[in-house]
Every structure is written in C-alpha cells, then in structure tokens.
Amino acid sequence: MEDEEGVVTQEKKLEINGILANLKYNENNKEMVYSSIKRLRKILCLETENLPATISYIFVIGLIPFLIDLLKKYSKKSVDRDEKEVEVILSFDYYKKENQYHDLTYKDYIIVLETKILYEIVWSMANIASGSTDECLYLARRGVIPPLVSLLKKSNVGIIENCLWAICNLAGDNGLSRKNILDTDALETIVEIFYKINSLENIEDKSLLKHICWAFQQMFSILDISMERIILLLPVFDKTLDLLMQVMENLDVEEAIINICRPLVNLASSFNPQIFSYIRSFNFVDKMIQLLYHKTNDCLINNLALIFIGHIFQQYQEDDILRILNRNKGFLKYILKNVNLLSKNNESLNDLVWIIGNIVLNAPSIQLLIDSGIVKKLCNISTEHFERRISLKPRDDRDIIFTICKIILNSSPDQVLYMVDLGCIHYFSNYLFEMKNLHNRTIGIMLDCLVVFLERGKSFMDINEDNNGDGNDNNNNKDHNPMAQFFKNENLLSRMIKFKEIYLFTPEVDLIINSLINQIKN
C-alpha cells in the first residue's frame, strides 16, 4: 500500500482530501456534492497509469464510506421517483447544459441535479471497482451491490452503462463478489434490458449491448449459475450472436462476440447432459462455423469458436456430426486452409487437430476428410516432421499421430488401403523403432493400428478371393494388393522381435506386440 501511495502526487492527495472534506461537511448541499463527485470522477478517469495507487489512497483516507452512503441515498431517491417525470425533464437535455438551469422550476432543477450526482457517483464507483481484490471485497461488504443492481431498472442509459461497468468489475474480480451479485436479480434485469434494445438500430447508436455482453461474460460461472438461469441465457446468447454477426463487418463488436462465446465454451465443456440437451436445441454450432468465415482482427474469436465446436463434436453422435459437415460444406475447406497455413508458419495445430479427431468417428465422416485432402495433409505433416526431426510442439506431434491412428482404427477396409498408399505402414514402422523415449500410450495406439492393417488387409483379400470365384490368380491379386507389402516385410517382423527385447512395456502393450508378431508370422 505504501509503494502505491507514493505514486500519487502531493497535489493530487490534497485535491482528494478536499473532496472528502466537502462531502463530509456539505452532504446536504447538492451543488457542492455534485461538483465534488464530478472532480473525483475526472481524477479517476484521467489517472490511467496511477489509477491503482489513486484508488488505494481513496480507500486509505476513508472516502469510500461517504461515496457508498451517497450511492445508497441517491439511488433510493431515483428508484422511488416517478420515471416518466424524470424522462420528460431530461429529454430537454438540460442536465447537460448547466447554463440553462434558469429555465427549470426548482423541483425540476433538483431532479436533474440529483440525477447528475447519481451519474457521477456510479461512474466513479465503476472506476473504483477496478481496484484490488481486497478493495472489491470491501465494496461488497459495505453494500455497494444492491443499489447498483436497483439502478439497472432505470431508463437513463448512462447510469445503466456505468452500473454494468461497476458490476462487471466486481464480478470479474473474485468469486465471492460474483456470487453476491448472482444472489440478486441482476442477471434477470440485464436480460430484460437486452430484450428492450434488441435491434440493429440500438447497436449502431449505443454501446449498451457491448456492456451487456461483458456483463454476461463476467457474471457467468458454471459453478455458481443455476440451470434455470442457463435456460434463461441461452436464447439471449443465440439472439445476440445473430445480431452481432450481422454488423461485425461494419462495427467494432468483436469484443462483444468474445464475451458471448466465452460462456458458451464453458457450457459446452461442462459435459453436463442436461446443459448439452439445451445447447442442441439452438443452432450454435452452425453459428460458430459461420463466425470462422468472417474476417476478424481478433484471432481469439476463431479460437473460441473452434473450441466450442470441438467440445460439441465430442458429445455428438456420428450421424449428427455428418449432418453438420454436409450442411456446412466450407467448414472442412476452412480446416484444410488453416492446417496448411499454421504448418507452413510452424504454429500450433492443436485446436484444429483436436476437432479433426472428434470428427473421425465413422467411415462416412472419414471419407469427407479424405475427399477434402485433410487426411493426406496430416500424414504429410507428420511424416515430414519425423524425417526432418522437426516439431511444432511435442503435444502437436503426438495429437497428429493419435488423430491419424484414430482415422485408421475407425476406417473401412478401402480407407485403410488408402492410408497404406499414403505410407502409414512405413511411417509407423520407422517412427516406432527410431524415435526415443516414446510414451506407452503412443506405442500402444500405433501398434493397434498395425494390427488393424493386418486385419483389414486380410478381410480385403478375403473379399478378393470371394470375387475371384474359384481363387484363380489369387497370388497375382496379392501381389497387386497394396496391403501385400506389409505381409512381405520381414524387416518389420525382425524389428518387432527386437523391439520387444529392448523395451519394457506395460502388460497391455506387451500383449499387443505378441499378437502382432504372431499375426505377421502367419
């Protein structure tokens, strides 16, 4: 605290001390209260670099209790006052033109002045709520949350925005403050505000929707929020995404989109069947895919969209994923384009590979990936990294290998032959016997794939024998069968035996190796 105090200049301290004195001894003088609070707000707004120190000093000298008492006092007056009366007076914009106060009656003048005081207090409190966690907890203990929530029900957009700002700062700082806010009807009130401004015209004219999106993101916690509120929020998220996506090419709404995507990702990653059933009733996956096609300056939007899609694909059935892919023909093109781009720039492919791994659940989905060129690209990347001994990141290389293995394990016989044509047998063989310090899981899944090559190869040749009828030219068919290279590879057999002699495996991996050796011999 002392270090922070030292940043505040002596001149600034004297000014803040003067504000405290004015509020302490002139609390019934509304003009004095207004000018003092306005001065404080300007100090807080201008102190960008020294704001934490300034906030700390305000706490140290005891100014906060006076501010909270004023907030409670004027928020109660505002809530009790007839809203229509205030709207009529403020519609003349007199509260912005101080030199025109003489045109107002005394009663109207007091209404305008008290509204202005409240506006300045809430704005100041929004800045103060960006302080440390201890300071935010102090504000909550002193009862700052109820008056802020009550003011959300007012029609003054400036006051609402600053209340949202203060609430967001408190909710985003610590779990206790967020829980205190969620214990009120703040979330329901914000949803009501959203439905009132749910139009393109309001987005273009006001920043209120951005504040609402921020509030949803800051207040949302999968641990604290009830199922009833999740059900309340999902249609709001759905409408908000629709609204923002319509204007994102022309307006700066990227941060608002991010603030909606974050809670959706949290919901998708909860793996709660009840939550998932509600998510399914909306078209969020298609919206996230459409987000990927939009030009954006913030790659976090694409990252969040991909993470959401990946989590949903993890919980979808094979047919559901197939329908989505057929409905969004450009999605796989997007994946391939970005796999090419990221691999070229030696950047992480983790999110993309993870999504691909969640798609390859059956032969029809795998065929779409084969037809799009994604499977071939992954095999080429993995082979290139092995041959050149380069790596994006250990996790990336491992995830690519696991995804290739998953493709093989879920492929049809014809698709397995395609993987042979891509050189997977040669690659797996070399990778297993030349790479050092392999994890047992990596070894196990690659050996599983070699077993699949054997089994699919035999079934493929059995089909060929049936098609030949009497079995004539069967040996010739084997010679032209791409899988035949696997059975003729005596080097692989000797490698497997040596592999078993050198390394110590888990019982599960050891069992796979023994089975594989026996199948190769036969």
Whole-number pLDDT of residue 101? 52
Whole-number pLDDT of residue 404? 92
Whole-number pLDDT of residue 459? 60
pLDDT tier at 100, thresholds 50, 70, 90: low
**Of the ranges 54-63, 82-91, 233-242, which one carries the lowest mean pLDDT score?**
82-91
Span 279-292, pLDDT tens digits: 989 989 999 999 99
pLDDT at 94 over 50: no
Its sign, for the CA torsion 511, 516, 517, 522, is positive
For 119, 442, 500, 506, 522, the CA distances from 503, given in Å and listed in that order, are: 73, 14, 6, 10, 24
Q: What average pLDDT score do residues 456-462 get? A: 58
Whole-number pLDDT of residue 21? 95
DSSP-derived 3-state class of residue 402: helix
Whole-number pLDDT of residue 3? 41
Measured torsion, CA atoms of residues 81, 86, 87, 91, in degrees rounded to the nearest 10: -170
DSSP state letters, 442-476:
HHHHHHHHHHHHHHHHHHHHHHHHHHHSS-TTHHH
Whole-number pLDDT of residue 322? 93
Residues 443, 505 contacting (CB under 8 angstroms): yes
pLDDT at 509 over 70: no
Query: Which residue would you say has higher pLDDT here, 172 or 447?
Result: 172
DSSP state letters, 48-93:
SSSHHHHHHHHHHTTHHHHHHHHHHHHHHHHHHS-HHHHHHHHTTT
Q: What average pLDDT score do residues 442-446 get? A: 78
Most confident of 104-113, 367-376, 425-434, 436-445: 367-376
Residues 160, 208 contacting (CB under 8 angstroms): yes
pLDDT at 407 over 90: yes
What domains lie within the chain, and their CATH numbers?
1-173 (1.25.10.10)
Q: Residue 129 CB: number of other CB atoms within 10 A?
A: 24
Radius of gyration of the chain (CA): 32
pTM listed for this prediction = 0.81
Query: Which residue would you say has higher pLDDT here, 423 or 176?
Result: 176
The pLDDT mean for the chain works out to 82
Whole-number pLDDT of residue 212? 93
Share of the chain above pLDDT 90, in %: 47
For 275, 353, 383, 385, the CA distances from 338, given in Å and listed in that order, are: 31, 11, 19, 18
Compute the distance between CA of residue 295 and CA of residue 323 in angstroms, rounded to an integer: 25
475 by Cβ neighbours in 10 Å (0-12 / 13-18 / 19+) ranks as exposed
CA atoms within 13 A on the CB side of 133: 6
Compute the distance between CA of residue 442 and CA of residue 444 in angstroms, rounded to an integer: 5
Whole-number pLDDT of residue 192? 92
Measured torsion, CA atoms of residues 235, 237, 241, 244, in degrees rounded to the nearest 10: 110
Query: Which residue would you say has higher pLDDT here, 20 or 154?
Result: 20
**H/E run at residue 285:** helix 284-293
Most confident of 147-156, 229-238, 397-406: 229-238
pLDDT at 516 over 60: yes
Its sign, for the CA torsion 4, 8, 14, 15, is negative
Compute the distance between CA of residue 445 and CA of residue 453 in angstroms, rounded to an integer: 12
Span 306-359, pLDDT tens digits: 999 999 999 998 899 999 999 998 999 999 999 998 888 777 788 899 999 999
Its sign, for the CA torsion 81, 84, 87, 92, is negative
pLDDT tier at 480, thresholds 50, 70, 90: very low
Nearest to 239 by CA among 183, 192, 195: 195
Which distant-in-sequence residues (6+ apart) come within 8 Å of 176 by Cβ?
Answer: 137, 140
Most confident of 26-35, 98-107, 461-470: 26-35
Compute the 3-state secondary structure of the chain and give helix, strand, coil in percent, each to the nearest 5: 80, 0, 20
Whole-number pLDDT of residue 204? 54
Share of the chain above pLDDT 70, in %: 78
pLDDT tier at 5, thresholds 50, 70, 90: very low
Burial 93-125 (b: 16+ CB within 10 A, else e): ebbeeeeeeeebeeebbebbbbbbbbbbbbbbb
Compute the distance between CA of residue 302 and CA of residue 288 in angstroms, rounded to an integer: 8
pLDDT at 505 over 90: no
**Of the ranges 70-79, 376-385, 394-403, which one carries the lowest mean pLDDT score?**
394-403
Whole-number pLDDT of residue 462? 54
pLDDT tier at 372, thresholds 50, 70, 90: very high
362 DSSP 8-state letter: S
Crossing angle of the two packed helices 51-60 and 63-80, in degrees rounded to 10: 90
pLDDT tier at 218, thresholds 50, 70, 90: very high
Whole-number pLDDT of residue 92? 47
